[in-house]
C-alpha cells in the first residue's frame, strides 16, 4: 500500500497503482499537507502533494519552480500532472479567499486551468498497447502567481504532437481520443450536421460531454465547437480515400469510384471545390524557370502523381489539418488562461513529457521522444544525482527510505547525446544535411551513409539481429532501440505541398482558412535547400534547448513515475521489471 518513496532533494518515486486508492488523493489529504508546518512537511510520508506544497512554498519565497514528471509510457505521468494541478488549484482557492486578491476571484481561474486537461487529453492522447491514455505530445504548463502568491493565470507550451497517428498507426493502436468521443457521443442531429461517417459504438460517449463542457469553460463555445467537429469529420472522410490508376502515368490516378461520396463530403466540410480537391491530391504542380530574373517569370505545369504519391499527399493534408487544429486549440486555451498584464510575478512549471519508447517499429517520432528523454536524463543527473559525489545529505535521506547507493555507478552517457545532436558529425546533422541537399535517397543508400559515418561510434551501430528493413541502433541511456531508416528523411522534411496550403487558404470557410493563414514561403525560394532549412529535428532540438534554459532559472523538483508491471494490473509488483527500470533510471 505504499506508492511513493522519497529520494531526497525534491525528488520522489511514484508507483502507478492502476486502481483507485481510498483516501490517497482526497480533500483531507490535501488539507493535511497544506496545513503542515515546514518542519512537519519534511517528516510527512512521501506524496505528490508534498512535492506540490514544497514547490508552492518555495515559489512564495520568490523562487520560480519546475516539477518534472518522467517515466515510461503507462507509468502514470498524466495522472500525476492532474493531481498536481488539482492540489495547487484547491489550495489556491483558500489562499485567494484569505487575501481577497484583486486578480481573479473565486474559483474562476482554478476551474479553467483544470478544464484544460480534458481538452488536451482528448486531442493529444491516444490508446496504445502499453497505455490506454498515452500522451502523444509534451507539455510545459506554467501556473502564474501574483505578488501575494495567488494563482492568476497559466501559460501553455506544447512539443512535437505525433501527427502521423492521424493517418497511419500500427495494429492495436488508436487515433486520438477525440475522434472516438465525437463518433460515439454526438446526437443524431449533430451526426447529420457534421456529416460524420458511420462507426461502431464504443465507450467514449460520456467523455465527449466532459470534453465539450471543458471547452466551454475556456471560452470555446458552441459555434467554434461545431467548426472543430466539422474539421475532424473532414479528416475522417479524407482518411478513407483510395486511388486507382497506372503508376507509369499512362492512365493518371483518380479517386476510386466507391470513395466518391467521401470526396464530395470532404470538399463540402472543408468548403473547397471538389474538382480542386481531387486535382490537388492527384496532380503535382511543378515550377520551372530562373529565379534571378527581375520579373521572375516562371513556367508552371502539372504532372500526374503515382498512387503512392496520391496517398502521401492525402496523408500530408490530414496530418497538417489536425496539427493546425491542435495548435489552434492550444492557442485558445493559452489566451483564455494567460494572466492579465503585469499581474504575474512568479510561476510553478509542470513538465509532462512522453516516456521512453521502444516498439517493434520505431522511426523519427520515437527518435525525437527518446532524444528528449536523453536530454532530460542529463539535466536530472547534473541537477541531482551528482550531488551524492560531493557529500550531499541526499545519502542520509535515502538511507531513511531504505535505498542504498552501494554498487550503483552514475554513467551520464553524454557521449550518446553528442552522437545525436552535435553540430557536426552527429546523427541529426547527417539527417538534416540529407534534407538540405534534397537528395533523392532510398533506404539502402541512407543506411550506407549512416554506416560509413558512424562505424566507429559505440552509440550508433548496426542491429545485431537482421531486420526486415534497413535499420540502425542507438544505444540510449535506457537501452538500445532499433530505428527504421525508411521515411526518416521524408518525416524530417515534413513538407506540405504548396498546392495543399493554397487549396485550404482559399476555403470559403473562415475557420479553415485562418488555420493556414501564416507566413507562406517565397515561391522563388526552394523549400528544401539552403542552410536555413528548418527540419523536424532542428525545430525540436531548438524548442528543447529553450525549455531547458527556462527550467535552469527555476528550482527543480522531480517525480519519477514507475510502472510496476507490463500488464498494467493492480496489486502486482514485477520486481524484475522495476529493477531494470531502476538501472535505467540511474545509469
> Which residue from 347, 348, 285 is spatially nearest to 313, judged by alpha carbons?
285
CA 10 to chain centre: 25
Q: Give catalytic residue positions.
A: 73-74, 78, 131, 134-135, 355, 357
For the chain, give the longest Cα–Cα distance. 81
> Left, alpha or beta for 337 (phi > 0: left; psi -120 to 50: alpha)?
alpha
74 in a known ligand binding site: yes
* Burial per residue of 338-368, b for 16 or more beta-carbon CB atoms within 10 angstroms, e otherwise: bbeeebbbbbbbbbbbbbbbbbeebbbbbbb
423 is in an annotated binding site: no
Positive or negative, the Cα torsion across 545, 547, 550, 554? negative
Buried-state track 258-284, b at ≥16 Cβ within 10 A, e below 16: ebeebbbbbbbbbbbebeebbebbbbb
φ and ψ of 523, to 5 deg: -60, -20
Q: How many residues does the chain have?
A: 587
- Annotated binding-site residue? 106: no
The strand pairing partners of 14, in sequence order, are 4, 561
Residue-wise DSSP of 550-584: HHHTSEEEEEEEE-S-TT--TT---HHHHHHHHHH
- Residue 524 labelled as part of a binding site: no
Q: Which residue's C-alpha cell is 461517417?
A: 197
Q: Rounded distance, CA 517 to CA 319, Å? A: 17
72 is in an annotated binding site: yes
Run of H or E residues at 145: strand 138-145
Residues 507/271, Cβ–Cβ less than 8 Å? yes
Tell me whether residue 164 is exposed, middle or buried, using C-beta atoms within 10 angstroms of its C-beta: 0 to 12, 13 to 18, 19 or more.
Answer: middle
Give yes or no for a contact between 496 and 316, defined as CB atoms under 8 angstroms apart: yes
Query: Is 124 part of any known ligand binding site?
Result: no
What is the rounded CA–CA span in Å between residue 506 and residue 496? Answer: 16
**Please, where are the H alpha helices in 140-204?**
164-167, 177-185, 188-193
For 370, list phi and psi in degrees, rounded to 5. -70, -30
Say if residues 397 and 6 touch (Cβ distance below 8 Å): yes
Q: Assess contact for 178 and 185: CB atoms under 8 A.
A: no
Helix axes of 48-60 and 77-99: crossing angle, nearest 10 degrees: 40
Return the SS3 of 501.
Answer: helix
Binding region: 71-78
Binding region for ATP: 71-78
Amino acid at each position: 500500500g505504499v506508492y511513493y518513496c522519497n529520494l531526497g532533494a525534491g525528488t520522489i518515486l511514484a508507483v502507478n497503482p492502476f486502481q483507485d486508492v481510498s483516501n490517497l488523493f482526497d480533500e483531507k489529504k490535501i488539507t493535511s499537507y497544506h496545513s503542515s508546518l515546514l518542519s512537519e512537511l519534511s517528516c510527512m510520508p512521501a506524496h505528490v502533494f508534498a512535492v506540490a506544497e514544497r514547490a508552492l512554498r518555495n515559489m512564495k519565497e520568490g523562487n520560480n519552480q519546475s516539477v518534472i514528471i518522467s517515466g515510461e509510457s503507462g507509468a502514470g505521468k498524466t495522472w500525476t500532472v492532474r493531481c498536481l494541478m488539482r492540489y495547487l488549484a484547491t489550495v489556491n482557492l483558500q489562499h485567494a479567499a484569505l487575501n481577497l486578491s484583486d486578480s481573479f476571484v473565486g474559483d474562476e481561474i482554478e476551474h479553467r486551468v483544470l478544464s484544460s486537461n480534458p481538452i488536451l487529453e482528448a486531442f493529444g492522447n491516444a490508446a496504445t498497447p502499453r497505455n490506454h491514455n498515452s500522451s502523444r505530445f509534451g507539455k510545459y504548463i506554467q501556473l502564474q502567481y501574483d505578488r501575494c502568491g495567488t494563482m492568476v493565470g497559466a501559460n501553455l507550451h506544447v512539443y512535437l504532437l505525433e501527427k502521423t497517428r492521424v493517418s497511419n498507426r500500427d495494429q492495436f493502436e488508436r487515433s486520438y481520443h477525440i475522434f472516438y468521443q465525437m463518433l460515439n457521443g454526438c446526437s443524431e442531429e449533430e451526426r447529420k450536421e457534421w456529416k460524420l461517417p458511420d462507426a461502431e459504438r464504443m465507450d467514449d460517449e460520456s467523455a465527449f460531454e466532459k470534453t465539450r463542457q471543458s471547452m466551454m469553460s475556456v471560452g470555446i463555445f458552441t459555434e467554434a465547437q461545431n467548426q472543430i467537429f466539422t474539421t475532424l469529420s473532414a479528416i475522417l472522410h479524407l482518411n478513407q480515400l483510395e486511388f486507382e490508376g497506372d503508376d507509369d502515368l499512362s492512365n493518371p490516378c483518380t479517386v476510386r469510384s466507391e470513395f466518391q461520396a467521401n470526396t464530395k463530403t470532404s470538399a463540402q466540410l472543408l468548403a473547397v471545390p471538389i474538382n480542386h480537391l481531387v486535382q490537388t491530391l492527384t496532380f503535382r504542380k511543378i515550377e520551372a524557370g530562373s529565379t534571378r530574373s527581375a520579373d521572375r517569370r516562371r513556367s508552371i505545369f502539372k504532372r500526374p502523381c503515382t498512387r503512392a504519391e496520391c496517398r502521401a499527399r492525402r496523408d500530408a493534408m490530414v496530418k497538417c489539418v489536425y496539427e493546425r487544429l491542435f495548435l489552434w486549440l492550444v492557442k485558445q486555451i493559452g489566451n483564455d488562461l494567460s494572466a492579465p498584464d503585469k499581474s504575474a510575478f512568479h510561476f510553478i512549471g509542470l513538465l509532462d513529457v512522453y516516456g521512453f519508447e521502444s516498439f517493434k517499429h520505431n522511426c523519427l517520432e520515437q527518435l525525437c521522444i527518446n532524444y528528449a528523454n536523453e536530454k532530460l536524463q542529463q539535466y536530472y543527473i547534473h541537477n541531482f544525482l551528482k550531488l551524492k559525489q560531493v557529500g550531499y545529505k541526499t545519502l542520509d535521506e535515502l538511507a531513511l527510505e531504505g535505498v542504498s547507493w552501494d554498487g550503483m555507478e552514475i554513467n551520464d552517457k553524454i557521449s550518446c547525446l553528442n552522437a545525436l545532436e552535435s553540430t557536426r558529425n552527429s546523427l541529426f546533422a547527417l539527417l538534416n544535411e540529407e534534407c538540405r541537399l534534397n537528395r533523392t535517397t532510398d533506404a539502402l543508400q541512407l543506411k550506407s551513409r549512416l554506416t560509413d559515418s558512424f562505424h566507429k561510434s559505440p552509440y550508433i551501430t548496426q542491429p545485431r539481429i537482421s531486420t526486415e528493413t534497413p535499420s540502425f541502433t542507438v544505444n540510449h541511456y535506457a537501452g538500445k532501440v532499433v530505428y527504421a531508416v525508411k521515411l526518416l528523411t521524408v518525416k524530417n522534411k515534413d513538407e506540405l505541398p504548396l498546392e495543399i496550403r493554397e487549396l485550404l487558404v482559399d476555403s470559403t470557410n473562415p475557420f479553415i482558412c485562418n488555420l493556414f493563414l501564416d507566413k507562406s514561403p517565397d515561391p522563388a525560394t526552394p523549400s528544401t535547400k539552403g542552410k536555413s532549412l528548418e527540419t523536424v529535428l532542428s525545430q525540436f532540438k531548438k524548442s528543447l534547448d529553450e525549455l531547458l534554459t527556462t527550467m535552469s532559472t527555476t528550482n527543480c523538483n522531480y517525480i519519477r513515475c514507475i510502472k510496476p508491471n507490463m500488464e498494467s494490473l493492480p496489486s502486482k509488483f514485477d520486481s524484475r521489471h522495476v529493477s531494470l527500470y531502476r538501472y535505467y533510471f540511474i545509469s
